Amino acid sequence: MVYFILVLVAAIEVIVLLINRPVFANIPYVQVYIVPLLIVIVITMLLSRNPKRFMRWFKQGLITISVVVLVFVPVLYAKNLPLYGYNEAKKMLAQREQLLLSQFQKGKYVYPAKDSPKKYRYLFKVNRGNGMLEYVFDPYTGGYEVVTDVIKK
């Protein structure tokens, strides 16, 4: 029963991570959090198949480590999650700059931050008049800036 609960909780956490992935344009990278959960699932399934094969203390140690991983992965993910989702940032930028949502180019773009290589920003390409503006939005603070002002010829 313990094995089933561990696999179930890990599977639910993987599903939640995959559901949140497009909301935040994969910021932070979901793969970093999914790999330990998949390892927990594999180890737990191996332990449930051959319980006599492993020594008791080793089994208990692996189960304890699995529980710790299951607790800390969502905590770390929630800690590193941006304040604003991609669509929320787009609406906020449109409101502040008085833009229409139809002026934004389709697609989700991510831009690496200059100050921190592990942090990423949302990049919005906006058609405005006879040119195109590119805005970089910081999903952690809500700040933004114009990166380029490209004029169409």
Query: Where does the pLDDT of residue 54 fall: very low under 50, low under 70, confident under 90, or very high at 90 and above?
Result: low
Q: In whole angstroms, what is the distance from residue 4 CA to residue 14 CA?
A: 15
Q: Residue range 127-153: average pLDDT?
A: 80
**pTM across the whole model:** 0.73
Q: Where are the domains of the chain?
A: 2-80, 86-151
Q: Name every residue whose Cβ is closer than 8 Å to that of residue 14 and which is 6 or more positions away in sequence.
A: 34, 37, 38, 41
Q: In whole angstroms, what is the distance from residue 63 CA to residue 125 CA?
A: 48
Q: Residue range 96-103: average pLDDT?
A: 89
Q: What pLDDT was estimated at residue 74?
A: 92
**28 φ/ψ angles, rounded to the nearest 5 degrees:** -70, 165
Helix, strand, coil tally for the chain in percent (to 5): 50, 20, 30
Closest CA to 24 of 99, 124, 121: 121
Give the least confident one: 14-18, 101-105, 111-115, 124-128: 111-115
Q: Residue range 51-80: average pLDDT?
A: 82
Strands (E) located in 27-143: 109-112, 120-128, 131-137
Q: Residue range 78-85: average pLDDT?
A: 90
Mean pLDDT score of the chain, rounded to an integer?
85
Q: What pLDDT was estimated at residue 51?
A: 57
